[in-house]
Amino acid sequence: MRLLSTDFDGTLIGFDSDGRCSPAFAEALVRHHGAGGRWAINTGRTLDHAIAGFERFDAPVTPDFLLTNEREIYRRTPGGGWEAHGDWNADCQRRHDDLFRIAGDMFSFVERLKSEWGGITVISEGGAPAGLVTETEELMDRVALALDAAEVRPAEFGYQRNTVYLRFCHSDYHKGSALGELSRLENIGPEEVFAAGDHFNDLSMLDGVYAKMTACPANAIDAVKERVRGSGGYVARGFWADGVAEALGHFRRGRLPS
């Protein structure tokens, strides 16, 4: 096991928790790091928000990589800072800019949903729509179905969602493809990668393509549990980081997927 790819919110910490690392996961991290393993936090947070989160998490090991915004790849520098790893981030930004320039009709469709349904807030970054927030998860379910069915949706227009938050994106860029690129850059095969997540935006790294060891804590949504079971992974009994530590122990005891 050379690389851990863990979601953060909902996987390592509960949304109503104090945001601190659990003793069981701290022990598992020290063991992993001591064996030469690497750790990537694979999150929907921005880079600054991810840094603030893991600093509060106060784990005994600092992540080697931060995969942010569900698509960007950063590596830790010798001085303790963070830098883009390879050309991935620049290529990702270019392709998103190209896509969003032709997605005007799709963004108009989103605005109509906002006006007609209510309970939807559109989030902009740099003057362009970046995503949305709904008042309830039930409304988010309806929004996702509407986006999927929209006739004006460009072929490569996708989204990532977690609870009441949704980010617009190019369909080629997600947590799974970012993990795959990181593995390529580090010359790590999927059979050497462990991935854990809890929500819809984690599904792309839990299908067995980018990580052969997949897992989720007990608090994961049903869709994630089904994806993990379908990829021969481990659904933990423990919640949040304790569940991830439980899954790491499961795979370290030699219960590897066939």
What's the chain's length in residues? 258
pLDDT of 158 reads: 97
CA distance 11 to 197: 6
C-alpha distance from residue 66 to each of 32, 41, 50, 153, 252 (Å): 17, 5, 8, 30, 24
Q: What does the H/E/C string look like for 77-101?
A: CCCCCEEECCCHHHHHHHHHHHHHH
Is residue 89 within 8 Å of 106, Cβ to Cβ?
no
Least Cα distance to 218 among 197, 238, 204, 198 occurs for 238
pLDDT digits (tens, 9 = 90+) for 84-130: 999 999 999 999 999 999 999 999 999 999 999 999 999 998 888 99
pLDDT of 255 reads: 54
This prediction has a pTM of 0.95
pLDDT values of the chain reduced to their tens digit, one per residue, 258 residues: 999 999 999 999 998 889 999 999 999 999 999 999 999 999 999 999 999 999 999 999 999 999 999 999 999 999 999 999 999 999 999 999 999 999 999 999 999 999 999 999 999 988 889 999 999 999 999 999 999 999 999 999 999 999 999 999 999 999 999 999 999 999 999 999 999 999 999 999 999 999 999 999 999 999 999 999 999 999 999 999 999 999 999 999 875 443
**The sheet that has 234-235: what strands, in order across it?**
82-84, 72-76, 65-68, 38-42, 3-6, 193-196, 213-216, 234-235
CA distance 42 to 174: 10
Domain residue spans of the chain: 3-70+174-252, 90-170
Other C-beta atoms closer than 10 Å to the C-beta of 41 total 25
Architecture of domain 3-70+174-252: 3-Layer(aba) Sandwich (3.40)
pLDDT of 258 reads: 38
pLDDT of 16 reads: 82
pLDDT of 48 reads: 97
